[in-house]
Amino acid sequence: MTTNKLIYTFLISGVLFSAILFWTWPRDVYNSVKNTNNIKVHVAESISKKIFVKNNITIEKYFNYMDSLVVEYDSLVPYPLSEHLLVRANPWIMDTLANTDYYNMMEQDSFVYNQKKMVVLRNSDSLIVPDSITATKIIKSMKNTLIDVNVPEFKLRIYQDNLLLHTFPIRVGRNTEKYLEMGNRITDLRTIQGYGQIIEHHKNPDFYNPVDGKQFFFTKRDDEKTTYMPQIPWIETEINGVRNGQMIHPTTNPETLEKAYSNGCIGTKEGDAWIIYYYSPLGTPIQIRYDLKIKDINGEELELKDIYGYKK
* Rounded (10°) CA dihedral 44, 48, 52, 57: 130
Active-site residue (options: 84, 166, 202, 249): 249
Residue length of the chain: 312
Q: Could you tell me whether strands 145-150 and 285-289 are parallel, antiparallel, or unpaired per DSSP bridges?
A: parallel
List, in sequence order, every residue forming a beta bridge with 237; answer none if it has no partner.
Answer: 198
The DSSP call for residue 38 is: -
Say if CB 262 and CB 172 are below 8 A apart: yes
CA distance 173 to 160: 26
CA distance 118 to 45: 36
249: annotated active-site residue? yes
Q: Which residues contact 55 (CB under 8 A, 6 or more apart)?
A: 123
Which three-class secondary structure state does DSSP give residue 102? helix
Say if CB 227 and CB 244 are below 8 A apart: no
Active-site residue (options: 84, 166, 201, 265): 265
CA distance 48 to 40: 17
Q: Which of 180, 189, 245, 244 is nearest to 211 (CA)?
A: 180
Say if CB 12 and CB 19 are below 8 A apart: no
Catalytic residues: 249, 265
